[in-house]
Amino acid sequence: MLKINTQSEWITRANEVLPAGGFGNFDPGIIIARGDGSHVWDEDGNEYIDYLIGSGPMLLGHGHPEVMEAVLQQLPKGMTFFANNARGIELAEAIVDAVPCCEQVRFVASGGEADMYAIRLARAYTGRTKILKFEGGYHGMSAEAQMSLAPSRLVNFPQAVPDSAGIPDSVAEQMLIAPFNDLEAVAALLTEHDDIAAIMVEPLQRIIGPLPGYLQGLRGLCDRHNVLLIFDEIVTGFRLAYGGAQEKYGVTPDICTLGKIIGGGFPLAALGASGDIMKHFDKAQVGAEGWLMQLGTLSGNPVASAAGLKTMEVLRRDGVYDQLRATGKALQQMQVDALTSAGIANQICGDETLFDIFFTEAACRDYRSATHDEPQRNVIYNEKLRDHGVFKSPGKLYPSLAITQADLDQTRDAVEKAVQAIC
């Protein structure tokens, strides 16, 4: 008889072969066995409403039938070629049609890879070396991105603090760090430094929204100082709106990065810009000195491209984003109502399509202010949500189009029980 491993057995096995017992992404104390629609199940058969959704890419839910059909049609034709393929070309066309700053795109396999190349592209185009990023901004795992991502040691701006071992001190010298939502700080740095290639920003930084006029202000400062503006839209692309943050906020960057949703649940990401900037990927146009070498075994593979194309087709349908925002609004309101009724200070931080709760009365406008008055309260709250069938990150909630009214009703019950636990 086939032996079925329990979750605790899988955890034991993971601890033998994986550092810290996990993949480095999420709580290794839960082993997900499968997902379907808006739900996932762990290896012990416990069922959860999924508000993690793979950290964002499963906007349509798990196993969406149209996406599955598109993948199944592609699989017998080939999984990857390390060569151009029609599905990848079609996906590039769809992205160019949807995203304001993109005249051309280059595919990679992960969002972090796209962000790394965006930084390199900005340096190649401008001939400058320094990058300005924002404290708490997440841009993948490159050495530059690991500067002041989640610093436990708060230092004076614009000093960069590495968040990882193994990064040379020289990397920090090429990075300038500013507080998010502070245009005066950015303006001062641009005035002081004439060797900045680009400002790199998440338009919605993790879940912290831009203040009115902030992104427009960044655009103006970049134009004034001849600096490129990079939007990291790995998360926000095709989530905040079909055209991403660029459409929602009405600001067009020079370069953007895209991931998660454009792969339909498969490994795929991209960076895009004008043809003039993207020509640095074409050695025939810029010569050996200006050429940015980039290649990747799975870049633009046809399976991910087929899944992404179908996902984008679904997202173009009438009412889709209205539905997503209505779901997010309901999830926000049920938590605010329960917490406020219990007399617990709370702030919604983020957008209806991506947000979470901070247990504080203070406004959340940057990395240093986006904190809980009592961090342990957040730990207990999220533990109790999971105990009652709600699966989410401790710091972020992703609504999806698969969420049903029954899911919302169950989530409301779980929220009420979690609130009782922290009163």
Give the CATH number for residue 368: 3.90.1150.10
251: nearest Cα among 211, 208, 278, 194 = 211
168 and 295 share one domain:
yes
Is 276 a catalytic site residue?
Answer: no
Q: 17 lies in a domain?
A: no
142 and 262 share one domain:
yes
138 and 117 share one domain:
yes
**Stretch (H or E) spanning 354:** strand 354-358
pLDDT score of 5: 85
Q: Answer whether 0.75 is exceeded by the pTM.
A: yes
Q: 139 lies in a domain?
A: yes
Is 51 a catalytic site residue?
Answer: no
Identify residue 303 by its one-letter amino acid code: V
Q: What is the pLDDT along the chain (423 residues), one digit of tens a residue?
A: 566 789 999 999 999 999 999 999 999 999 999 999 999 999 999 999 999 999 999 999 999 999 999 999 999 999 999 999 999 999 999 999 999 999 999 999 999 999 999 999 999 999 999 999 999 999 999 999 999 999 988 999 999 999 999 999 999 999 999 999 999 999 999 999 999 999 999 999 999 999 999 999 999 999 999 999 999 999 999 999 999 999 999 999 999 999 999 999 999 999 999 999 999 999 999 999 999 999 999 999 999 999 999 999 999 999 999 999 999 999 999 999 999 999 999 999 999 999 999 999 999 999 999 999 999 999 999 999 999 999 999 999 999 999 999 999 999 999 999 999 999
| Active-site residue identified among 260, 310, 384, 392 | 260
| Active-site residue identified among 48, 138, 321, 398 | 138
279 and 411 share one domain:
no
| Active-site residue identified among 115, 182, 232, 356 | 232
The CA dihedral of 167, 173, 176, 177, to the nearest 10 degrees, is 40
pLDDT score of 224: 98
360 and 374 share one domain:
yes
Q: 20 lies in a domain?
A: no
Among residues 266, 283, 315, the one where a domain terminates is 315
Give 338-373 pLDDT, tens digit per residue.
999 999 999 999 999 999 999 999 999 999 999 999
Domain that holds residue 374: 31-63+319-422
Q: How are the residues of the chain apportioned to helix, strand and coil, as percentages rounded to the nearest 5?
A: 40, 15, 40
380 and 262 share one domain:
no
362 and 418 share one domain:
yes
DSSP 174-212: TEEEE-TT-HHHHHHHHHH-S-EEEEEE-SSBTTBPPPT
Among residues 315, 339, 361, the one where a domain terminates is 315
Give 300-325 pLDDT, tens digit per residue.
999 999 999 999 999 999 999 999 99
Among residues 299, 315, 331, the one where a domain terminates is 315
CATH, residue 267: 3.40.640.10
pLDDT score of 4: 74
**H helix runs in 136-182, sequence order:** 169-173
Q: Specify the number of domains making up the chain.
A: 2
Is 138 a catalytic site residue?
Answer: yes
84 and 103 share one domain:
yes
147 and 282 share one domain:
yes
191 and 106 share one domain:
yes
